[in-house]
Structure 1
């Protein structure tokens, strides 16, 4: 599926370009600099694998954002290239990343921005406290699908009835569970 900007979008992944993020932001949940700061701050807390970072960000946003490997690993490479993080290979070849002294200094210089980012994403987690991540992802997918369909243009009566029937069927299925 392609979004209005022509880029491929995958609603099932909780992609950062989808819908409103914590704090009601439209478009990207984080810009590249913000995501780099968040990842670096998480690495400063403790060394982590890429998938641990993805899981941590999903948890901290209450499931509203689940970064893909295609977002996390280039971010980690950039942090490593800048000297802000280093990679350590563990047994079985798994890579763990940790913040360097330069990374810690960069975080200290950007402390206000880091605190603001964590406050912003925790708002998403508080709003969705107790909602399992798969349910939240499904809700976000539905919002995105509707938003994308509405952007494509006017909806005729037959299409509106088809959409309404699909929504009604989903609502009934949820009520039965």
Structure 2
């Protein structure tokens, strides 16, 4: 058994209009010992207009969009090959099933790569956000979920990490 833990930084929120600009993937064994790692950045495709909010959230500066080492197509190809090479694994991330997977699937489709690469070759998928919510509901004392500015529980990755003794700034999250 192995895991592929990943995250994407994108040009915006809508899968049909946006693409990944950065990706980080770590392949680990069952004890979470790293077996492989990718940290990739790509140039913004000419037909994509990035959302200003996405650039503020990710910290990607406009000049970085032109200076990245890979084209979007090249980066997606590297990701697709890694997912194939690292199979079978459990593909996991924080809010990946509702966001990153949709962005990645649409980008793979539009670049003629296997859109269901995270579901093929024996891969399984899991989402840490869903797991954190389940643990908070079923075993409330097992994890601390902080309250946000509105007084409601905050499940933002940085907030949950810091509330549970993991020093992770919002930028790092």
TM-score range, shorter chain: under 0.3
TM-score, normalised to structure 1, is 0.27
Answer 1 or 2: higher relative contact order, Cα 8 Å, separation at least 6. Answer: 1
Question: What is the TM-score of this pair, normalised by structure 2?
Answer: 0.28
Larger radius of gyration: 1
